[in-house]
Structures are given as structure tokens and as C-alpha cells.
Amino acid sequence: MDRRAFGMGAVATLGLSACASASPRFLTYDGPEVTSLVINKGARKLYLLHNEHVLKEYKVDLGFAPRGTKTKRGDGRTPEGTYLIDRRNPNSRYHLSLGISYPNSQDVAQAKAAGVDPGGDIFIHGQPNKRAERKRAKKTEDWTAGCIAVTNDEIEEIYAMVNRGTTITLRP
């Protein structure tokens, strides 16, 4: 996916800053509203959009078995489909994180029909807080259990820019 796919000409200028009295990991954002997120799994890209205009794009790492959609707990896949950002975790094991509303009712029904647990706890997050986990994550692409990982600096930006209730579409 590229910016032309969204009919975009120029990228908007963003206003991110760290408040003097706040922790540096809690940035403020005063730019255009992020109205949706799109993840293109094949390109390993996350796009933050204001309507059809790409505001920012990031390289991502996915689950350790990235091909196909998540169907059960432990499969290492990152879901595909449309969900919501449904929670914010400032105390994440992975710097900061934004929760994705997987599984939805369709995911639950498919898992039930297959006799499996659909899994859950899918997030966009930064790098692991524990040193040993950070070393392991740096050695390989697509190291998560099904989440979307970015750098710590990037999750700080994303965390500042994205609100609960924002739509996220994960594409193959």
C-alpha cells in the first residue's frame, strides 16, 4: 500500500511534543485527528490516517507466524479484519500499548465452530521492558505472539495520536 492508494499528495505536518512536567513517554499531539489505522501485513507497515490522508507510517513487526489471520490462541498470527482500538495501557510489559478489540463476535463464532480458543490480548506496542526479552526481539523480525510491534519512540507518538474507539483495519 502506498500513499497514492489513499489519494494523498502531501503528508500533514504533525505537532508532537513532550510536556515539561510530564514523563517523556507521554507526548501531546495537536495535529489532525487520527480517524483510522491501517496495517498492511505483507508490507509490514502501519499507517495513521486522517480520513484518506496518511499522517504517519511506521515499519512493524508482527506475530511469529505472520501469514494468514489469527484463528486460535498460540498460533502466532496477527489478526486480519476491522476492529477498534479499545484500551490504552501505560503500564504495559512492552513500554506502552494500545489494545485491539480482537476477538470480535465473528472470530469467537469461528473459533467455537472449530473447537478452539480464539485467543486475545492483541496490541500495538513498543519493545519489551525486560532486557532479556529485548535482546530476543532484536534478533528476529516478526517476534510477537500476534501483536504489532514498533520502536519505543514510535509507540510514544502513536499513543499520543490515537484515541480509544479509533477503527483499525489489518490487511493481509
What domains, with CATH codes, occur in the chain? 3-171 (2.40.440.10)
Average pLDDT over every residue of 129-139: 68
Q: What is the pLDDT of residues 135-157, one digit of tens each?
A: 666 667 899 999 999 999 999 99
Q: Across the chain, which distance is largest between two alpha carbons, in Å?
A: 52
Average pLDDT over every residue of 14-35: 70
Average pLDDT over every residue of 112-122: 96
55 and 11 Cβ atoms separated by less than 8 Å: yes
Given this model, what pLDDT does residue 2 score? 45
86 and 98 Cβ atoms separated by less than 8 Å: no
User: Can you list the positions of beta strands (E) in 1-146?
Assistant: 16-18, 27-29, 36-40, 45-50, 53-59, 81-89, 97-100, 122-125
Average pLDDT over every residue of 93-105: 95
Given this model, what pLDDT does residue 124 score? 98
pLDDT category of residue 9 using cuts at 50, 70 and 90: very low
Average pLDDT over every residue of 101-121: 96
Q: Is the pLDDT of residue 160 over 90?
A: yes
Given this model, what pLDDT does residue 136 score? 65
Given this model, what pLDDT does residue 140 score? 75
Q: Which residues contact 1 (CB under 8 A, 6 or more apart)?
A: 38, 40, 43, 45, 47, 171
pTM comes to 0.83
Q: Is the pLDDT of residue 10 over 70?
A: no
Residue 15, amino acid: G
47 and 57 Cβ atoms separated by less than 8 Å: yes
Given this model, what pLDDT does residue 27 score? 87
Determine which helix (DSSP H) or strand (DSSP E) holds 171, and give its type and residue range: strand 167-171
